[in-house]
């Protein structure tokens, strides 16, 4: 199975539409569509985000003969942390955009909900790094 097929299968298995996945990854629905038909591949930061979101390895996503493995080493956790750090930059920008007019409307509340979910995931990654490093 190639990347496009794996992404499509993972998305459908988790019950997400292309649009919902796009919102979670801060990309357009068209980007997800292009990835799933094999027209393009995501950039490295989005590949890490996809890996984190579906809790699969990047090797699994990109290599044709790799099976799912739930044992993660410290290196994999640190890669997740790097992806989370990039996500924090995007989250900061979104929060600044939301607060430009000083009022949070209904659509912005929806965006805030996604942001809070992302921050919860980032917190889990930080905790996992600390635990793996015995901190």
Asked, for residue 68, whether it belongs to a domain, the answer is: no
Rounded distance between C-alpha atoms, residue 54 and residue 69, angstroms: 12
Beta-carbon contacts of 59 under 8 Å, excluding residues fewer than 6 positions away, are: 66
Asked, for residue 10, whether it belongs to a domain, the answer is: yes
> HSE (CB half, 13 Å, CA atoms) of 113?
8
> How many structural domains does the chain have?
2
Beta-carbon contacts of 92 under 8 Å, excluding residues fewer than 6 positions away, are: none
Same domain, 38 and 14: yes
pLDDT tens, residue by residue, 102-116: 888 888 888 888 888
Q: What is the largest CA-CA distance in the chain?
A: 51
Rounded distance between C-alpha atoms, residue 128 and residue 135, angstroms: 10
Residue 17: CATH number of its domain: 1.10.260.40
Same domain, 78 and 124: yes
- Domain containing residue 82: 74-132
What is the length of the chain? 135
- Nearest of 99, 92, 97 to residue 119 by alpha carbon: 92
Asked, for residue 26, whether it belongs to a domain, the answer is: yes
Instruction: Kindly give the confidence (pLDDT) of every residue in the chain, 135 residues in length, as a single tens digit, with 9 standing for 90 and above.
Output: 899 999 999 999 888 999 999 999 999 999 999 999 999 999 999 999 999 999 888 888 988 876 554 445 677 777 777 877 777 888 888 888 888 888 888 888 888 888 888 888 888 788 777 777 765
């Amino acid at each position: 199975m190639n990347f496009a097929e794996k992404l499509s299968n993972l998305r459908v298995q988790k019950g997400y539409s292309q649009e919902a996945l796009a919102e979670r990854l801060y990309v357009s629905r068209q980007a997800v569509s292009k990835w799933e038909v094999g027209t393009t591949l995501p950039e490295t930061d989005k590949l890490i985000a996809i890996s984190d979101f579906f809790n699969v390895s990047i090797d699994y996503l990109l290599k044709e003969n790799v099976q799912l493995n739930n044992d993660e080493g410290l290196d994999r956790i640190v890669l997740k942390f790097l992806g989370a750090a990039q996500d924090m930059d995007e989250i900061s920008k979104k929060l600044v955009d939301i607060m430009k007019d000083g009022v949070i409307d209904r659509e912005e509340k929806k965006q805030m909900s996604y942001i809070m979910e992302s921050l919860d995931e980032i917190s889990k990654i930080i905790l996992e790094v600390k635990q793996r490093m015995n901190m």
